[in-house]
Amino acid sequence: MQQFPLAYDLLMATVSHFIIFSGHPTKIDSSMKYLLAVCLPIILSLSLPAQPAQPAPAVPDAIARLQRDIPPLMEKARVTGMSVALIRAGKLVYTGYFGYMSAAAKNPVTDQTVFEANSLSKPAFGYAVLQLVDAGKLNLDTPLNHYLQDPGEYSDDPRINRVTARLVLSHSSGLVSAGIHGSDKMVFAFNPGEKFRYSPDGITYLSLVVQRITGLTTEDFMARSLLEPLGMSHSSYRWQPAYDSLRAYRHDWQGNTNPKRYTWEHGAACCSLQTTPDDYAQFVLAVLNGQLVNKNTWAGMLEPQITVDSAHPGLAWGLGWGLEQTAAGTAFWHWGDASTSKAYITANVSAKDALIVFSNSENGLSFIKELLADGIGGEHPGAAWLGYQRYDDPAWSLLQAIVAGGAAKALKAAHPAVDEVGMNAIGYKLLAIQKTVDAIAVFLQNATDHPYSWNAWDSLGEAYMDNGDKGEAIRSYQKSMQLNPGNTNGAEQLKKLKG
């Protein structure tokens, strides 16, 4: 079964990549094990002096580092095109353009190149919603169904009557439906307000309510509320004719160009913003300076509404933004991901420093740590929480070696450095490019290294099935089912194979 070790809640995948430390003291009882493994590290950490905030590099140094480091990092990570904007002390001090809009056409990224913001559309929409709050047209704590004529229009679950704009903007509404159209109504993964779970569908629901309140389409609402007041003339939530020549193309992890670009006929609050780093920087500056919203509303936007998860106590979600608390103070952040295009922004509230990144490549955030260190310094737990594979990860190196010279040779040299999740991801990438024999070799090695992993055997069964090897597929799925009788995917595949 395929697993996605990217974002914790974005793709609803494995959590095994978080479990990276284990300790098993011998010749002591269980209570002592607990003290050593859990309490002692906490006690020791409390006795250590607090780490001072890492100072941001001087502006000329930051610009020089970005210009120096980005091209070689793009080459190592197979990133086709990228543009970054650097804000320091509340001013846009640098915008850089690197690589190509299309690897096939070799047309360079310029200051006119338009990128997909993807989920960076969400905090922009959220900021416009806060303007409605200031105008008295929307209350953050009034159930959104109050603004609709039919309370059951978008969900038959009575919990929909508890969903507010505050819960939606803080991604704690519990809404998880795949879409809102026809009879496909929204459902709940948990009770509203119970916990954090990233929910694009909640944003969609809020946008439908906003349309009823304002009488405007999403693209017109955003243009009037945000894009036009901030002079974001290259930005739109709907496809523009100029984008035919200006919009960057997407590229997969190998650097192959996707010749088709999605053209948004209608605006989508969750993800349809198309923009430039210069334009998006105007929005970030507006947020840093508290423009377009009242002072109290701005302050409330940056108040933690819910903790992201217990493993990351410094991460929370505000109203539209992720929030991170570090030695440098509070920062708001967000990311955008359409698989083969990526975006990211983080901004320190007190220093008014920010870095904005747009890329037209699947690997576009594989060196975000280096970009943040070069541009603004400091710690960035939000970027770490996303969990994107790094360009220097052993799994990435192994994958490239397999593509170049085959699995048999590459596995002998490199595979012990790659964990189970990494090997599983490599196998699926190989299946995606139809290197099925190599994928089987990777999955088989993974199952051999982790013989008690039901998922490793499940993935091996899938590869055998794709290769037309029915007998080995059945044996692999049966092994997976022995290890985990609750593996519904294995049961379904065995039924097909035996049917």
The more confident residue out of 106 and 47 is 106
Instruction: Using the predicted structure, report yes or no on whether residue 28 has a pLDDT greater than 50.
Output: no
The predicted-structure confidence for 73-88, as pLDDT tens digits, reads as follows 999 999 999 999 999 9
The predicted-structure confidence for 71-124, as pLDDT tens digits, reads as follows 999 999 999 999 999 999 999 999 999 999 999 999 999 999 999 999 999 999
Q: Which of 342, 347, 369, 370 is nearest to 357 (CA)?
A: 342
Q: Which of 34-43, 306-315, 319-328 has the lowest mean pLDDT?
A: 34-43
Round the CA-based radius of gyration of the chain to a whole number and report it.
Answer: 24
The more confident residue out of 22 and 127 is 127
Instruction: Using the predicted structure, report yes or no on whether residue 477 has a pLDDT greater than 80.
Output: yes
Provide the pLDDT confidence category of residue 3 given band limits of 50, 70 and 90.
Answer: very low
Give the list of residues 6+ apart from residue 499 with CB closer than 8 angstroms, or none.
Answer: none
| Span 434-460, average pLDDT | 96
| Span 471-481, average pLDDT | 95
Residue 196 CA, distance from chain mean position: 15
- Report the percent of the chain where pLDDT is more than 90: 82
What pLDDT shows up at residue 373? 97
The more confident residue out of 10 and 215 is 215
Phi, psi values for residue 85, rounded to 5° = -125, 135
| Span 456-469, average pLDDT | 96
- DSSP per-residue codes, 71-86: HHHHHHHT--EEEEEE
What pLDDT shows up at residue 17? 31
Q: Are 98 and 127 in contact (CB under 8 A)?
A: no
What pLDDT shows up at residue 74? 98
Return the ∠ at Cα 377 (arms to 374 and 378), rounded to 5°: 150
Amino acid at the residue 348:
N
SS3 331: strand
Cβ–Cβ contacts within 10 Å for residue 192, how many? 19
List, in order of start, the domains of the chain with CATH numbers.
57-388 (3.40.710.10), 394-498 (1.25.40.10)
Q: Report d(CA 354, CA 202) in Å as an integer.
A: 27
Write the CA distances from 151 to 138, 162, 205, 289, 486, integer angstroms: 17, 11, 12, 38, 37
What pLDDT shows up at residue 183? 56
The DSSP symbol for 164 reads: B
| Span 138-148, average pLDDT | 97
What pLDDT shows up at residue 417? 83
Please, is 50 exposed, middle or buried when counting C-beta atoms within 10 Å of its C-beta (0-12, 13-18, 19+)?
exposed
Instruction: Using the predicted structure, report yes or no on whether residue 15 has a pLDDT greater than 90.
Output: no
Return the ∠ at Cα 312 (arms to 308 and 316), rounded to 5°: 35
What pLDDT shows up at residue 24? 35
SS3 322: strand
The predicted-structure confidence for 213-248, as pLDDT tens digits, reads as follows 999 999 999 999 999 999 999 999 999 999 999 999
Instruction: Using the predicted structure, report yes or no on whether residue 47 has a pLDDT greater than 50.
Output: no
| Span 289-300, average pLDDT | 97
Provide the pLDDT confidence category of residue 12 given band limits of 50, 70 and 90.
Answer: very low
The pair of structure tokens assigned to 77 is 């990570």
Q: Which of 38-52, 202-216, 245-259, 468-482 has the lowest mean pLDDT?
A: 38-52
